[in-house]
């Protein structure tokens, strides 16, 4: 059987992947069965991407063959003309090196469901804007002669710098350094007329968090890939600035489990976590998080992630006594787009809509994770 030119050019690439997988399977290399299966799965994905690109190239060549031949016949060729050194030969297969990065895999790392390889480092600057409008509350004035209804609106801008370092033994070191700006506007409407609106703006460093993640199982058939994570919240952030609460400044520890099942081009995500705060004076209530989502590979360079993120926080405690009415339930529906801009550079754009009173009304954010190999 005679293979077409693109398929003949593809055979060495496929042979190279096969030889690499055989080498990994030799007894001299310390590779586990799970790692070998994951490497084979990654190889198969790249081969499928390459076959898809070859098919598209063949169709394009077939459509342009007739017009190109007529052009060659009609155009006289001078004997003095020389071909350009950098011009690719007709029918040559150009493989996009960025396809190997796959935006889907990069998205799973950002979601916390996948770890980077040892020696890889990633820095991700992130900016997120959130709008919150607290429901109106009715209160009596000091003279009990007028009913006052305050309404609080907050615009929050969070800047965050995340650092991830891939470690040996399927582990990863993580750190987050946040900065927050809160613009609070409080308006009062009373039965005897309107009161002046109070506006304040506060900014300050948030709580530095340090975490260690460990892969405890890998995705194979219906066995999920599971990552366990321990997090320390340092509590070093500022609690208030210019009379505005920034929602930080409490030390805590947390644990989290993230799992995913993949059925390309879909990946199903599940995450659960628990955070316990350690402050004695005014301690925030323990928080429970749960998230369900799915990621879709639109192309090797683009992926979409849909998730429903929920969290419940218990009441605050002051010197061992709970403060009624301070618990909260937040539920946010998120849509995130991830696109590879260049080698190692990813663009993520996120939009979220709050589904409960304690959640942001809406949220918009973007991130530019950049990755490189240390070696």
Least confident residue range of 41-45, 94-98, 292-296, 314-318: 94-98
Radius of gyration of the chain (CA): 28
Q: Does 98 fall in a domain?
A: no
pLDDT at 81: 38
In this predicted model, which residue has the larger pLDDT, 344 or 282? 344
What is the number of structural domains in the chain?
Answer: 2
In this predicted model, which residue has the larger pLDDT, 357 or 187? 357
| Token representation of residue 243 | 């009379």
Q: Does 160 fall in a domain?
A: yes
Return the DSSP state at 90: T
Stretch 345-372: mean pLDDT, rounded? 95
Q: Does 90 fall in a domain?
A: no
Q: Which domain holds residue 229?
A: 103-373
Q: Clarify whether residues 69 and 110 are in a common domain.
A: no
Q: Which residues contact 150 (CB under 8 A, 6 or more apart)?
A: 136, 137, 139, 186, 187, 188
Burial (CB count <10 Å: 0-12, 13-18, 19+), residue 206: buried
Q: Clarify whether residues 203 and 242 are in a common domain.
A: yes
Q: Answer for the pair 32, 24: CB distance below 8 angstroms, yes or no.
A: no
257-270: per-residue pLDDT in tens?
Answer: 999 998 877 899 99
Measure the CA–CA gap between 344 and 116, rounded to whole angstroms.
12
Q: Clarify whether residues 218 and 281 are in a common domain.
A: yes
Measure the CA–CA gap between 151 and 262, rounded to whole angstroms.
45
Classify 325 in phi/psi space as left (phi over 0), alpha (psi -120 to 50) or beta. left
Q: Does 81 fall in a domain?
A: no
Measure the CA–CA gap between 197 and 12, rounded to whole angstroms.
71
Q: Answer for the pair 288, 280: CB distance below 8 angstroms, yes or no.
A: no
Instruction: Considering only the C-alpha atoms of the chain, give the largest distance between any 2 of them, rounded to a whole number of Å.
Output: 103
| Token representation of residue 50 | 């390459």
Residue 76 has pLDDT above 80, yes or no: no
Q: Clarify whether residues 118 and 23 are in a common domain.
A: no
Q: Does 138 fall in a domain?
A: yes
In this predicted model, which residue has the larger pLDDT, 181 or 20? 181
Q: Clarify whether residues 69 and 156 are in a common domain.
A: no
Q: Does 82 fall in a domain?
A: no
Q: Clarify whether residues 194 and 262 are in a common domain.
A: yes
Give the domain CATH number at 244.
2.40.160.40
Residue linked to tokens 């790392």: 109
Q: Clarify whether residues 251 and 329 are in a common domain.
A: yes
| Token representation of residue 238 | 């500022």
Q: Clarify whether residues 165 and 310 are in a common domain.
A: yes
Percentage of residues in the chain having pLDDT higher than 90: 48
| Token representation of residue 54 | 């070859």
Q: Does 84 fall in a domain?
A: no
pLDDT at 290: 97
Q: Answer for the pair 17, 43: CB distance below 8 angstroms, yes or no.
A: yes
Q: Answer for the pair 185, 201: CB distance below 8 angstroms, yes or no.
A: no
202-238: per-residue pLDDT in tens?
Answer: 999 999 999 999 999 988 878 899 999 999 999 988 8
Residue 372 has pLDDT above 80, yes or no: yes
Q: Answer for the pair 354, 362: CB distance below 8 angstroms, yes or no.
A: yes
pLDDT at 84: 36
Q: Does 347 fall in a domain?
A: yes
Domain end point (choices 54, 73, 92):
73
Residue 28 has pLDDT above 70, yes or no: no
Stretch 27-38: mean pLDDT, rounded? 61
Q: Clarify whether residues 189 and 294 are in a common domain.
A: yes
Q: Clarify whether residues 123 and 206 are in a common domain.
A: yes
Closest CA to 168 of 217, 220, 115: 115
Can you list the pairs that 366-370 forms with residues at least 24 positions away whose Cβ atoms lie under 8 Å? 366/126, 366/127, 367/110, 367/124, 367/125, 367/126, 367/127, 368/124, 368/125, 369/106, 369/109, 369/110, 369/122, 369/123, 369/124, 369/162, 369/345, 370/122, 370/123, 370/124, 370/344, 370/345, 370/346
Measure the CA–CA gap between 94 and 50, rounded to whole angstroms.
10
In this predicted model, which residue has the larger pLDDT, 306 or 58? 306
Q: Answer for the pair 225, 41: CB distance below 8 angstroms, yes or no.
A: no
* Residue 373: other Cβ atoms inside 10 A: 12
Q: Clarify whether residues 20 and 156 are in a common domain.
A: no
Q: Clarify whether residues 129 and 251 are in a common domain.
A: yes
Q: Answer for the pair 261, 290: CB distance below 8 angstroms, yes or no.
A: no
- The phi and psi torsions of 253 (rounded to 5 degrees) equal -130, 150
∠ CA(177), CA(183), CA(189), 5° rounding?
Answer: 150
pLDDT at 24: 44
């Amino acid at each position: 059987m005679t293979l077409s030119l693109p398929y003949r050019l593809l055979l060495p690439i496929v042979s190279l992947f096969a030889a690499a997988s055989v080498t990994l399977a030799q007894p001299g290399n310390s590779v586990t069965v799970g790692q070998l299966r994951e490497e084979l799965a990654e190889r198969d994905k790249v081969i499928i991407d390459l076959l898809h690109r070859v098919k598209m190239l063949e169709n394009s060549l077939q459509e342009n063959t007739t017009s190109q031949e007529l052009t060659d016949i009609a155009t006289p060729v001078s004997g003095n003309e020389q071909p350009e050194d950098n011009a690719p030969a007709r029918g040559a297969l150009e493989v996009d090196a960025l396809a190997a990065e796959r935006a889907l895999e990069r998205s799973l790392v950002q979601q916390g469901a996948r770890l980077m390889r040892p020696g890889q480092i990633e820095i991700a600057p992130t900016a997120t804007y959130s709008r919150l409008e607290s429901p109106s509350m009715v209160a009596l004035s000091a003279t009990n002669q007028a009913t006052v209804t305050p309404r609080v609106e907050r615009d929050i801008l969070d800047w965050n710098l995340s650092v991830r370092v891939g470690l040996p033994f399927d582990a990863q070191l993580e750190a987050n350094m946040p900065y927050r700006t809160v613009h609070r506007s409080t308006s009062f409407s009373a039965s005897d007329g309107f009161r002046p609106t109070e506006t304040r703006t506060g900014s300050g460093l948030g709580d530095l968090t340090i975490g260690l993640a460990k892969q405890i199982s890998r995705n194979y058939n219906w066995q999920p890939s599971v990552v366990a994570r321990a997090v320390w919240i340092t509590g070093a952030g500022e609690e208030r600035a210019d009379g505005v609460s920034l929602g930080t400044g409490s030390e805590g520890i947390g644990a989290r489990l993230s799992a995913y099942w993949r059925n390309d081009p879909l990946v199903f995500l599940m995450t659960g976590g628990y955070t316990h705060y350690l402050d004695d004076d005014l301690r925030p209530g323990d928080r429970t998080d749960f998230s369900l989502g799915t990621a879709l590979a639109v192309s090797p360079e683009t992926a979409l992630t849909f998730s429903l993120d929920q969290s419940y926080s218990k009441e605050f405690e002051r010197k061992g006594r709970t403060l009624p009415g301070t618990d909260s339930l937040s539920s946010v529906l998120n849509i995130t787009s991830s696109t590879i801009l260049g080698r190692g550079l990813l663009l993520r754009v996120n939009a979220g809509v709050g589904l409960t009173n304690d959640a942001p009304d809406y949220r918009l954010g973007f991130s530019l994770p950049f990755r490189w190999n240390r070696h």
